[in-house]
Amino acid sequence: MASSRPSQDAPPSPSVPPAAAGAEWEAARPKVRRSPALVVGGLVLVVAGALVAATAYTSLSDTRDVVAAVTAIPRGTQIAREQVAVVRVGADPLLDLTAADRIEEIIGSYAVWDIAPGSLVTASGTAAQLTPAAGQAEIGVVVDRAHHPSGSLVPGDSVTLVAVPASVDVTRAPFTRAGVIVEVEDTEVADTVSVTVTVATADAGLLAGLAANRQLAIVVNARER
């Protein structure tokens, strides 16, 4: 005879299929919305970081061997071997620095201006010979068109400076002195130029006085050597 006791079997499975339950859970989960501004900002930061890293790497790898001053080198001093040394620096190639392989050219040259200890020696900061040289001086002469030849006065021209006093005695030879043009510049006065001329030290005072009174004319000597 069959027993009338209730069944002890497991309860029936839920009426909602598992696949449907998963779909309902996905639909109920809150969706995350990404802000376009945040995405763009993140990309900008990544690119900026890459550029900074590349710049730092380039700065560290782009080094040069150049000449530096070990001690103070006053202007006009002839540079000695113990006053300079070769150092390695990261510097812009456009800078006017003296390459290490030119250090022997620097030794024995002259400092154009004061060079502080530890500073890098520039190519324009030294010269094989200073001007004016010993026994010479530089004077400034402002002349108008009537007192110099037409055309350009050129640095390096050999010239003769001629005194032109207010009253000229044609029976006497004019006072003249030799010189070499160092620099020519225009002035604010029309048809006048300012000329720097190297002359003998013994004549510099007299010539400067004549120049101050506009009593000097410039004669350009033959340029053919």
For residue 220, pLDDT beyond 70: yes
Same-domain check for residues 144 and 213: yes
Same-domain check for residues 101 and 145: no
- Residue 90: which CATH number? 3.90.1210.10
Residue 94: inside a domain: yes
Instruction: Write the pLDDT tens digit of every residue in 16-41.
Output: 555 555 555 455 555 555 566 665 66
For residue 12, pLDDT beyond 60: no
Same-domain check for residues 121 and 198: no
Residue 28: inside a domain: no
Same-domain check for residues 122 and 169: no
Same-domain check for residues 145 and 120: no
- Which of 101, 130, 159 is the last residue in one of the domains? 130
**Helices and strands (DSSP H and E) totals, the chain:** 4, 9
Same-domain check for residues 182 and 99: no
Residue 225: inside a domain: no
- Which of 130, 163, 183 is the last residue in one of the domains? 130
- For the chain, the average pLDDT equals 78
pLDDT of residue 13: 52
pLDDT of residue 14: 53
Residue pair 157/179 in contact (Cβ under 8 Å)? The answer is no
Name the residue range of residue 169's domain. Answer: 136-220
Same-domain check for residues 166 and 92: no
For 24, left (φ over 0), alpha (ψ -120 to 50), or beta? alpha
Q: 183 vs 94, which has greater pLDDT?
A: 183
Percentage of the chain surpassing pLDDT 70?
68
Cα 40 to Cα 7, 36, 47, 49: the distances in Å are 65, 6, 11, 14
- Residue 209: which CATH number? 2.40.30
Residue 167: inside a domain: yes
Where would I find the beta strands (DSSP E) of the chain?
Answer: 64-69, 84-89, 110-111, 126-127, 136-144, 158-163, 176-186, 192-200, 216-220
Q: Residue 114: exposed, middle, or buried by beta-carbon count in 10 A (0-12, 13-18, 19+)?
A: middle
pLDDT of residue 55: 59
Question: Mean pLDDT throughout 109-116?
Answer: 90
Task: Provide the pLDDT confidence category of residue 1 given band limits of 50, 70 and 90.
Answer: very low
pLDDT of residue 88: 87
Residue 159: inside a domain: yes
Instruction: Write the pLDDT tens digit of every residue in 144-182.
Output: 877 787 777 888 899 999 998 777 666 688 889 999 999
Q: How many structural domains are present in the chain? A: 2
Same-domain check for residues 46 and 99: yes
Instruction: Write the pLDDT tens digit of every residue in 51-81.
Output: 666 555 555 556 788 999 999 999 888 999 9
Dist. CA 127–CA 21, nearest whole Å: 91
Two structure tokens written together for 87: 């150092």
Residue 22: inside a domain: no
